[in-house]
C-alpha cells in the first residue's frame, strides 16, 4: 500500500508505471490459476433432476430447499443453438436462481444435440411435441392449468408459437431477445439469409442438419473485432483477477459449445421467418392449425438489449401490434445478446424487476400445500427438497 510518506519521498510504488508493472507480473504469475479455472468450470451451477426425457430432449426441475411461494411454476425455453447452461452460468449470474429466490418452481428444457437421424424434425416436433408435453407434465405435477413461460432467442420464437396455439395454458409470457418480426434489415442475419444470397435447400440437402461449425462461423463473423480481438485483449488485461478469469472461461466454454440444428427445422425457420416473415403475416401453420398471434392474451413482457447484434429490439417489439394481451410491458438494458442473461448489470437491475413482475401476476400457493412435488406426487407436510 502506498502511503503519503511514500509519495513525498518519491517512492517507486507511487508511480503509475510501477503499479502497471506489478499488475503485469500478477497476470503472468496467475497463469497456473487461469488454466485451473478453464478446466474446473461446471456446465451448470444449480442442482436439478430430470423429470421427462425423450430422445435428446430433457425437462429438468431445479431443486428448492423451501416450498414455493407461487402456485404457477416457471418454464424456461432456450434456443436450439448452443446449450441452455447460459441461463445458469454462475451462482451470481443465474436466471434460474433469480426465479428460485423469488419463490418459484423452476423448470428448463434442454433440447440436446440432434443426430443425423433427427434431421427430419420440424417446428411441429419441437412446439407441438416436446414443448407441449413439458407444459402438460409440469401442470400435472403441480395441479395448475397454467404456468409462466420464458423464451430466450429462438426459444422465444418457439414459445410464441406455443402461446398462439394454446393461449389458455400460460399465466404470462416473457420473451428475451426473441426474433418475431423479420421485416427489418438491421441484423446481418436478415441480410445473409436473403434468398438472393443464401440457398438454404442446398445447405440442408448437403449436410442433413445445419452444422454447428457453420452456425459458429456466422456468429463470429457478425462481430469479428469484438469476438476475435477485443475480448482477447480484455482477457489478458484481467488475468490478475481470478474472478473475472473464471467468468471469461464460463462464457467461452458456452459460446464455443455449439450444436447442430435439425435440418428440416433450420430449413423451415429460414424460409418461413427470415425469408417469408410468415408469423406476423399470419401465414404460418403448424400441425394443420394456423398460428394466430391475436390469440395471445396473457400478460406479456418483452426484454431486449440495445447492443444486440443477433436480434434487433424492434424484431421482438414487433409482436405488440399483433396480440390481444391484456398488458404488454417492455424492459431494455444497455447490453448485448448474451449480456441480457450473463452480465453483472443485468442481474443487479433487470432480473430482480423481471422476477418481481412475474410474482405480481402469480397465484399464491395454498398454505397447506408444500408447493413442490417430488417424483410426480405431492410431498408430505414438513418435507424438504434438496438445497440449491
Catalytic residues: 153, 308, 337
Helix 16-29, helix 31-40: angle, nearest 10 = 50
Phi first, then psi: what are they for 297, rounded to 5°?
-125, -5
CB-hemisphere CA count at 13 Å for 360?
10
C-alpha angle 164/170/43, rounded to 5°?
100
Question: What is the Cα–Cα distance from 27 to 34, expressed in whole angstroms?
Answer: 9
Percent helix, strand and coil across the chain, each to the nearest 5:
45, 15, 35
The residue count of the chain comes to 388
Q: Find out whether 245 and 41 touch, Cβ atoms under 8 Å.
A: no
Q: Find out whether 307 and 336 touch, Cβ atoms under 8 Å.
A: yes
Helix 242-255, helix 31-40: angle, nearest 10 = 40
Helix ranges restricted to H, 208-291:
212-222, 224-225, 231-237, 242-255, 263-269, 278-281
Question: What is the Cα–Cα distance from 128 to 164, expressed in whole angstroms?
Answer: 11
Amino acid at each position: 500500500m502506498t502511503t503519503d510518506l511514500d509519495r513525498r519521498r518519491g517512492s517507486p510504488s507511487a508511480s503509475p508505471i510501477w503499479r502497471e508493472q506489478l499488475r503485469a507480473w500478477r497476470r503472468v504469475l496467475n497463469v497456473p490459476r487461469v488454466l485451473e479455472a478453464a478446466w474446473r468450470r461446471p456446465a451448470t451451477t444449480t442442482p436439478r433432476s430430470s423429470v421427462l426425457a425423450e430422445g435428446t430432449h430433457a425437462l429438468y426441475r431445479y431443486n428448492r430447499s423451501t416450498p414455493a411461494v407461487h402456485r404457477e411454476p416457471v418454464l424456461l425455453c432456450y434456443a436450439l443453438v448452443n446449450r441452455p447452461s447460459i441461463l445458469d452460468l454462475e451462482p451470481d449470474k443465474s436466471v434460474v436462481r433469480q426465479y428460485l429466490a423469488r419463490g418459484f418452481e423452476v423448470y428448463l428444457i434442454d433440447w440436446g444435440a440432434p443426430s443425423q437421424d433427427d434431421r427430419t424434425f420440424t417446428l411441429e416436433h419441437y412446439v407441438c411435441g416436446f414443448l407441449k408435453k413439458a407444459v402438460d407434465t409440469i401442470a400435472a405435477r403441480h395441479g395448475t392449468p397454467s404456468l409462466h413461460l420464458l423464451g430466450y432467442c429462438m426459444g422465444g420464437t418457439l414459445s410464441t408459437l406455443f402461446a398462439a396455439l394454446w393461449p389458455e395454458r400460460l399465466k404470462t409470457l416473457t420473451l428475451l431477445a426473441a426474433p418475431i418480426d423479420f421485416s427489418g434489415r438491421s441484423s446481418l442475419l436478415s441480410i445473409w439469409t436473403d434468398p438472393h444470397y443464401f440457398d438454404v435447400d442446398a445447405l440442408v440437402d448437403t449436410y442433413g442438419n445445419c452444422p454447428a461449425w457453420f452456425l459458429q462461423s456466422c456468429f463470429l463473423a457478425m462481430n469479428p473485432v469484438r469476438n476475435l480481438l477485443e475480448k482477447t485483449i480484455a482477457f489478458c488485461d484481467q488475468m490478475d483477477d481470478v474472478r473475472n478469469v473464471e467468468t471469461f472461461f464460463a462464457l467461452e466454454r458456452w459460446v464455443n459449445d455449439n450444436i447442430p440444428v435439425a435440418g428440416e427445422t433450420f430449413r423451415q425457420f429460414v424460409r418461413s421467418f427470415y425469408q417469408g416473415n410468415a408469423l406476423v403475416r399470419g401465414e404460418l401453420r403448424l400441425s394443420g392449425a394456423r398460428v394466430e398471434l391475436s390469440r395471445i392474451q396473457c400478460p406479456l413482457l418483452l426484454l431486449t438489449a440495445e447492443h444486440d447484434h443477433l436480434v434487433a429490439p424492434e424484431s421482438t417489439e414487433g409482436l405488440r401490434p399483433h396480440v390481444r394481451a391484456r398488458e404488454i410491458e417492455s424492459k431494455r438494458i444497455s447490453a448485448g445478446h448474451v449480456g441480457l442473461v450473463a452480465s453483472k448489470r443485468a442481474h443487479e437491475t433487470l432480473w430482480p424487476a423481471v422476477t418481481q413482475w412475474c410474482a405480481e401476476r402469480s397465484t399464491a400457493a395454498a398454505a397447506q400445500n408444500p408447493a413442490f412435488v417430488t417424483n410426480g406426487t405431492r410431498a408430505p407436510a414438513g418435507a424438504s427438497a434438496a438445497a440449491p
